[in-house]
Structure 1
Amino acid sequence: MDNAHLTRKQQEFFNYIVEYKKEYDVWPTYREIAEHFDYRSPNSVTQNIQALLKKGFLIKRNDEEYDLPKEKKKNLLEDYDDQDGIPIRGLIAAGYLQEAVEADLGKITLSSLFPNLDQLFALRVSGFSMKDVDIYDGDLVVLMDTDVKNGDIGAVLYNGETSLKKIYWGSNGLRLEAANESYDDIIVEPDVFEEVRIIGKYIGHINRQGFQRATSKVA
């Protein structure tokens, strides 16, 4: 890539979003970029992205999100893309001390970590209504296409809108409870139950610290 096409500040901006993508496999939010560079306005983020689009360092996908051109994606993200599992490097005793045994025992794959991988999908969070269970704006929530029990956190589609909430069923209808006292409960009356679709059950979320599995207390 010819760095001469970018100003110093544009190169720093580009390097940051690419490194973020390599580490977390998602692009940083406008808020995260603004905080990193101490921008006072999200317009500064927009201006930098527009400059990178104009110079061909980024492209717009069909969903209007930005991305890297194919040739740059291969060069810049190939180290990440080649990671297909966690290496198992040997044996370790869980009883008396034993001689260390090093061996190539394969890799831990996503299928190993998540036996029901075919039932999983993720959504990116927008907003702060679940902050009291440590789910914040920009996090990725991992959801499972399975039954949601009373009190579970789940993704709900209602009246054409989606929301992540604690779900409670009762004689008076469906109650969607936020994990933030600044947000009121959403009550769905029994006669419109058929308009509600539970998209998935929350099983964990991904943030800068990695994967945070749901506990029985919040799930």
Structure 2
Amino acid sequence: MQLPQPHANLFRYIEDYQATYSNCPSIDEMMAAMGKSRSSIQNSRKYLEQHGYIETIPGRKRNIRVLKPSRKGIPVWGEIAAGYLSQPCTTPEEYLPLEAPGLNSSDFFALRVAGDSMIGDKIFNGAFVILRRVPDGYRPANGEVVAAFVEGHGTTLKRFYQDGSIVILQPSNPEYDPIPLDLREQMLQVQGVFEATWYSERKPKQ
């Protein structure tokens, strides 16, 4: 089924926004991007939901989930530091050809590993990490490997540990020091939770 143009335009915008920000856009952002009224956006959302392209997740502020991705595979955002903090990439570079029954690629994204701070978890420089998208404000369990964005510094791949307002981003390579953060003074956003490692035909550097 081919989507009518106004609905197709909104659907592409939602996909692109989600691939870039690991989240869905707000109604106001959709209105601004599409140049449409609130009622027009709501009508398009209703159409997309009725035809199985998206679903609304109760209890979330940004509550859209894509059910029928138009692109096949998992989007690669760019690189993530498995070492020191680096500035994040906000434009998908490519799509990994990963498909499986029941796998909704819109629930995941990928990053190319730069650095060797996570080699103890067999996450090597040059590999791709597959991460599960998480909602705003998500706090992982202690010990989970996450992509963490620290305001003013950048993004890194580390194990997450929290005790009250203190968070430790822990590498698995003893040559690197843990990164301590005080949430009363610094903003931290968990952008994704590690699910798997994927290697291209070229062997990653170890």
What TM-score comes out, normalization by structure 2 length?
0.45
Larger radius of gyration: 1
Larger RCO: 1 or 2 (CA < 8 Å, sep 6+) = 2
What TM-score comes out, normalization by structure 1 length?
0.43
More helix by share: 1
